């Protein structure tokens, strides 16, 4: 008997390359996995207690599709204090089930079939697929080691066509950990303004930056705001004129170690939130109520856990930098944020997929091939340093030994196109 036909539009959606790696890892015992982009910590006790208390008090009903008032008020205060962003909780803030759903809602609200979205690449795996799911056409722009994998206004403008409707920005970046400075974001804002584009800004790693505090994001925050508990990466939404054309996609997953809670928020002009909330209500009625009450505690409570996580990632980042220092078999652009390192493995003359497969089979270390983040990721692999420090140290040692045993020494030592990529601590 012939089965009913599956829609071609579903078949055309690419599967996450990260999931492919996870499937392979499950078949290999005793693996050191440097794949997962998830904090090793869990939500702080006061967050967990707030969730439990909300259940005991019976706050388990449907909520407003925008989120409970307390959540939106907490988001508004946090965004103002930490990022210097001012959004009205009544109609410019929406609760979402994590950043990936928020990204989908934003794209669905701004795209008509055939509209183009510029995506700097390598990129987080959901970006391209979600543009396609919304009927749009992804247009990738290469991020380069020469620019430390940062966003670049000139490259973005060169990709603009009459069909371009939006550009997806992320800083700190996944998979590279690159942080784009405020002055470059201002140039990108000018491109968006002149071409009437939406900026969809994924800022889920905003507190995890590792430059000196004085060099961080002071220019992006209004001095009149309250003192920030920690420096953050600049947001394009702070640039004059960008409030009305930016959608900030945020999540508590990374900042507060709440990955499984599936809670985040959108910041956007009221006209856009009106549409994203309409779509969301048709999809799921409302966001998990317990997670919202927990999020209020996270956003309004002590920030010590966030600061501690940032310093933990700083230390683990140093393990990676020290472990690969002076290595001629691999190079990396020094990550300035998030908790990822994007490692250049071209001196091994292996493809990203071959390198990751053989590293897993021969050294029992799992990393994600760069091509999981777009074609421009070829020649790189991503490792996460969010996990156990001892496993990270051993995993980096094995990766280095594996790469050195397979590298072309002439390519590693003498080819300028390879050597200049190193931006080490």
Does 424 fall in a domain?
Answer: no
Confirm whether 275 is domain-assigned. yes
Identify whether 3 is part of a domain: no
On whether residue 20 sits in a domain, the answer given is: yes
Residues 248 and 324 in one domain: no
Structure tokens at 7: 């829609």
Give the pLDDT of residue 24: 83
Of the candidates 316, 323, 371, which has an alpha carbon nearest to the alpha carbon of residue 340?
316
R_g (Cα) of the chain, nearest Å: 21
| 91: CATH | 3.40.640.10
* pLDDT score for 333: 85
> What is the per-residue pLDDT for 192?
98
Which of 269, 301, 333 terminates a domain? The answer is 301
Euclidean distance between CA atoms 73 and 63, whole angstroms: 15
d(CA 261, CA 154): 38
Structural domain ending residue among the three candidates 280, 301, 322: 301
Any domain includes 2: no
Domain boundary pick from 266, 301, 336: 301
State the SS3 of the chain.
CCCCCCCHHHHCCCCCHHHHHHHHHCCCCCCEECCCCCCCCCCCHHHHHHHHHHHHCCCCCCCCCCCCHHHHHHHHHHHHHHHCCCCCCCCCEEEECCHHHHHHHHHHHHCCCCCEEEEEECCCCHHHHHHHHCCCEEEEEECCHHHCCCCCHHHHHHCCCCCEEEEEEECCCCCCCCCCCHHHHHHHHHHHHHCCCEEEEECCCCCCECCCHHHCCHHHCCCCCCCCCCCCCCCHHHCCCCHHHEEEEEECCCCCCCHHHCCEEEECCHHHHHHHHHHHHHHHCCCCHHHHHHHHHHHHCCCHHHHHHHHHHHHHHHHHHHHHCCCCCCEEECCCECCEEEEECHHHCCCHHHHHHHHHHHHCEECEEHHHHCHHHCCEEEEECCCCHHHHHHHHHHHHHHHHHHCCHHHHHHCHHHHCCCECC
| Same domain, residue pair 274 and 297 | yes
Q: Are residues 33 and 160 in the same domain?
A: no
Residue 228 confidence (pLDDT): 86
Owning domain of residue 312: 8-42+305-419
Q: Is residue 425 part of a domain?
A: no
For position 402, which CATH number holds? 3.90.1150.10
For the CA atoms of 414, 376, 238, 293, the dihedral, rounded to the nearest 10 degrees, stands at -120
Number of domains in the chain: 2
Buried b / exposed e across 267-292, counting CB within 10 Å, b at 16+? bbbeebbeebbeebeeeeebbbbbbb
pLDDT tens-digit profile, the chain (425 residues):
889 999 998 999 888 878 788 788 888 889 999 998 899 899 999 999 999 999 999 999 999 999 999 999 999 999 999 999 999 999 999 999 999 999 999 999 999 999 999 999 999 999 999 999 999 999 999 999 989 999 999 999 999 999 999 999 999 999 999 999 999 999 999 999 999 999 999 999 999 999 754 344 443 444 444 478 999 999 999 999 999 999 999 999 999 999 999 999 999 999 999 999 999 999 999 999 999 999 999 999 999 999 999 999 999 999 999 999 999 999 988 999 999 999 999 999 999 999 999 999 999 999 999 999 999 999 999 999 999 999 999 999 999 999 999 998 766 554 444 433 433 33
User: Do 314 and 199 sit in the same domain of this protein?
Assistant: no
């Amino acid at each position: 008997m012939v089965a009913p036909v599956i829609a071609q539009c579903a078949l055309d959606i690419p599967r996450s390359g990260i999931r492919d790696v996870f499937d392979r890892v499950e078949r290999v015992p005793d693996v050191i996995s440097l794949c997962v982009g998830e904090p090793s910590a869990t939500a702080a006790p006061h967050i967990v207690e707030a969730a439990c208390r909300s259940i005991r008090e019976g706050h388990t009903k449907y909520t407003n599709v925008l989120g409970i008032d307390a959540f939106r008020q907490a988001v508004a205060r946090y965004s103002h204090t930490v990022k210097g962003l001012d959004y009205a909780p009544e109609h410019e803030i929406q609760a979402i089930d994590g950043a990936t759903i928020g990204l989908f809602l934003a794209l669905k609200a701004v795209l008509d079939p055939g509209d183009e979205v510029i995506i700097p690449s390598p990129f987080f795996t959901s970006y391209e697929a979600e543009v396609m799911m919304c009927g749009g056409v992804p247009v990738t722009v290469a991020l380069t080691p020469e620019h430390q994998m940062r966003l670049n206004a000139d490259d973005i403008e060169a990709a603009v066509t009459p069909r371009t409707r939006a550009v997806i920005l992320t800083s700190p970046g996944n998979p590279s950990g690159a942080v784009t400075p405020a002055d470059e974001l201002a140039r990108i804002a000018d491109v968006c303004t002149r071409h009437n584009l939406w900026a969809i800004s994924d800022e889920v790693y905003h507190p995890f930056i590792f430059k000196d505090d004085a060099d961080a994001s002071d220019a992006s925050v209004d001095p009149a705001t309250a003192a920030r508990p920690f420096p953050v990466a600049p947001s394009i939404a702070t640039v004059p004129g960008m409030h009305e054309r930016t959608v900030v996609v945020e999540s508590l997953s990374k900042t507060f170690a709440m990955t499984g809670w599936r809670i985040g928020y959108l910041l956007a002009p009221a006209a856009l939130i009106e549409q994203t909330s309409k779509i969301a209500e048709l999809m799921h009625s409302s966001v998990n109520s317990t997670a919202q009450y927990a999020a209020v505690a996270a956003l309004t409570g002590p920030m010590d856990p966030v600061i501690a996580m940032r310093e933990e990632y700083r230390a683990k980042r140093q393990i990676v930098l020290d472990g690969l220092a002076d290595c001629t078999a691999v190079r990396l652009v020094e990550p300035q944020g998030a908790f990822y390192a994007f490692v250049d493995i071209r001196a091994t003359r292996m493809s990203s997929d071959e390198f990751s497969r053989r590293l897993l089979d021969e050294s029992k270390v799992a990393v994600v091939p760069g091509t999981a983040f777009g074609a421009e990721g070829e020649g790189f692999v991503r490792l996460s340093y969010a996990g156990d420090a001892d496993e990270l140290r051993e995993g980096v040692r094995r990766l280095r030994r594996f790469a050195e045993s397979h590298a072309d020494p002439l390519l590693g030592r003498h080819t300028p196109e390879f050597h200049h990529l190193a931006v080490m601590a």
